[in-house]
Amino acid sequence: MTARQLALAALLNWQKDPQSHLEQHIKGNLSPKDLDLAYTICRGVLKEKSFLKATLNRYLKKDKLPKATETILLIAAYQRLFLTKIPNYAIISEAVKLAKQKSPAHASLVNAVLRNLDRDITEGFDPNKQDLSLSERYSHPQELIDLINEETKDQALTEQILIWDNAKPKTFLRLKNGGHEECLDVKAAVNSPEFKRGEIYFMQLWSQAVANAAPVKDGGNVLDLCAAPGGKSLALLDRAKIKLTACDLSEARLETLRENFARLGYSNAPNVTITKLDAAEADKHFPPNSFDLVLLDAPCSSLGTIQRNPELRWRFKIDQLSEYAALQKSILKAAQTLVAPQGYLLYAVCSFAKKEREAIDLLRQDKNWLLKEEKLTYPGEQNLFDGGYFALFQKKK
């Protein structure tokens, strides 16, 4: 299998199941270099899809192309427009080869379109100078751009977010001593003795900011209701000698959490309990007022993380926000009963959508709760990279 064959298969499989993670489709018996190329192409095509389509449309009639043909063209156009190290003739010949295998009826069309595009660019056509809508230029569905506009009420900030979403993401490590550093080589980090000894782990800066906002002290009884894969729980365990109950609804994600806990030396730790639980029913599992801190890192649209997860934009539906809001409200309703007097509830989402902070109105409107801190960031702001929101409340009695 070649890198482009894998990229095509992965993109077509992802299109069949857009709820799935792109990464899970990028698997094959390829050299690390080819696997990297397939990965870069897949992510790039999803980041630039509408822009590439608009550029290719100059050479296509209105007829709808089969998915395989369209995707082969997108893969080739992405390489031509965004990757500098692949010779143009190789891009075209690989695409035509792929078309002969997967959509032979369109192999000559693929050849003609890519040759025309290549010729035009060589003669000075600049795709960036096309007259395009924001949705085409930055490859975000209009529905999502409308939402971002509604949230920011600022055209320039909206455009900044769209640009940010398409930029190359950075990866960060949390150090066991609470510090952080940028990870420039993921493979080297994973193979490093520090990683194996659990002294560093991958954690984005926004997540670190949330974990750092949690008031923890030695002896504290902490409940993390949506804990998997465990990043914030682990940060809390590093910060103080707490008793931790980490829960999640997903057994598969709890399995990853257990692996992460084990690597950091917390397997069978007497102060850690791991439980599969529907957080909306948490009030039926634990006595009221029993935790000094409840962390509710709620399931959400993850709109603040599109830069790292380019496929998210294509499965965005405005109605999902109401569904998430309903789930967040039901979990918060159960969670707030579990906080002891003088204890804290930390609510967080990696989304900047207003709808996904409606849940906390329940605490804002209750005189028994005091808002101690809140933070809203749009993607790319405040050196936190992801966008998100958190609010820390204290229960009076």
Stretch that binds ligand SAM, among 101-109, 165-173, 193-201, 229-237 (CB under 6 A): 229-237
Q: φ, ψ for residue 390 (rounded to 5)?
A: -140, 155
How does DSSP classify residue 365?
T
Q: How many residues bind ligand SAM (CB under 6 A)?
A: 18
Stretch that binds ligand SAM, among 27-35, 278-286, 358-366, 373-381 (CB under 6 A): 278-286
C-beta closer to ligand SAM: residue 343 or 388:
388
Q: Assess 65 for contact with ligand SAM (CB under 6 A).
A: no
Using an 8 Å Cβ cutoff, are 47 and 54 in contact?
no
User: 180-183 and 369-377 as β-strands: parallel, antiparallel, unpaired?
Assistant: unpaired
- Comparing CA positions, the residue from 392, 289, 265, 373 lying closest to residue 337 is 289
Q: Assess 183 for contact with ligand SAM (CB under 6 A).
A: no
- Strand pairing partners for 293? 222, 344
How does DSSP classify residue 305?
G
Question: Looking at 6, 26, 99, 279, which residue binds ligand SAM (CB under 6 A)?
Answer: 279
Stretch that binds ligand SAM, among 30-38, 81-89, 108-116, 227-235 (CB under 6 A): 227-235
Question: Looking at 92, 227, 294, 321, which residue binds ligand SAM (CB under 6 A)?
Answer: 227
Question: Looking at 149, 250, 271, 290, which residue binds ligand SAM (CB under 6 A)?
Answer: 250
- Comparing CA positions, the residue from 22, 153, 133, 139 lying closest to residue 78 is 139
Question: Looking at 230, 310, 380, 388, which residue binds ligand SAM (CB under 6 A)?
Answer: 230
What distance in Å separates the CA atoms of residue 66 and residue 69, rounded to the nearest whole number?
5
Task: Categorise residue 357: left if φ over 0, alpha if ψ from -120 to 50, beta otherwise.
Answer: alpha
For residue 229, whether the previous peptide bond is cis, meaning omega lies within 30 degrees of 0, is yes
Q: Assess 228 for contact with ligand SAM (CB under 6 A).
A: yes
C-beta closer to ligand SAM: residue 95 or 280:
280
User: What's the min distance (Å) between Cβ of 294 and ligand SAM?
Assistant: 12
Question: Looking at 229, 304, 343, 387, which residue binds ligand SAM (CB under 6 A)?
Answer: 229
User: What's the min distance (Å) between Cβ of 285 and ligand SAM?
Assistant: 11
Q: Assess 253 for contact with ligand SAM (CB under 6 A).
A: yes
User: What's the min distance (Å) between Cβ of 259 and ligand SAM?
Assistant: 12
Q: Assess 175 for contact with ligand SAM (CB under 6 A).
A: no
- Comparing CA positions, the residue from 270, 260, 255 lying closest to residue 196 is 260
Joined together, the tokens standing for residue 166 give: 């398409």
Stretch that binds ligand SAM, among 29-37, 159-167, 249-257, 356-364 (CB under 6 A): 249-257
Question: Looking at 99, 280, 334, 345, which residue binds ligand SAM (CB under 6 A)?
Answer: 280
Stretch that binds ligand SAM, among 27-35, 114-122, 127-135, 246-254 (CB under 6 A): 246-254
Question: Looking at 48, 248, 292, 311, which residue binds ligand SAM (CB under 6 A)?
Answer: 248
Q: Taking the mean position of all CA atoms in its chain, how far away is CA 136?
A: 21
C-beta closer to ligand SAM: residue 96 or 298:
298
Mask of contacts with ligand SAM, 292-331, x by CB under 6 A? -----x-x--------------------------------
User: What's the min distance (Å) between Cβ of 375 and ligand SAM?
Assistant: 16
Strand ranges (DSSP E) for 106-229? Answer: 171-175, 180-183, 200-202, 221-224
Q: Assess 278 for contact with ligand SAM (CB under 6 A).
A: yes
Using an 8 Å Cβ cutoff, are 69 and 110 in contact?
yes
What number of other Cβ atoms are within 10 A of residue 134's Cβ?
17
CA distance between the termini of the chain: 63
Residue 347 contacts by C-beta under 8 Å, 6 or more apart in sequence?
296, 298, 332, 357, 359, 360, 363, 390, 391, 392, 393
Q: Assess 249 for contact with ligand SAM (CB under 6 A).
A: yes
- Strand pairing partners for 322? none
Helical axes 318-336 vs 142-152, angle rounded to 10°: 50
Joined together, the tokens standing for residue 362 give: 């329940």
For ligand SAM, the binding residues (CB under 6 A) are: 207, 225-232, 248-250, 253, 278-280, 297, 299
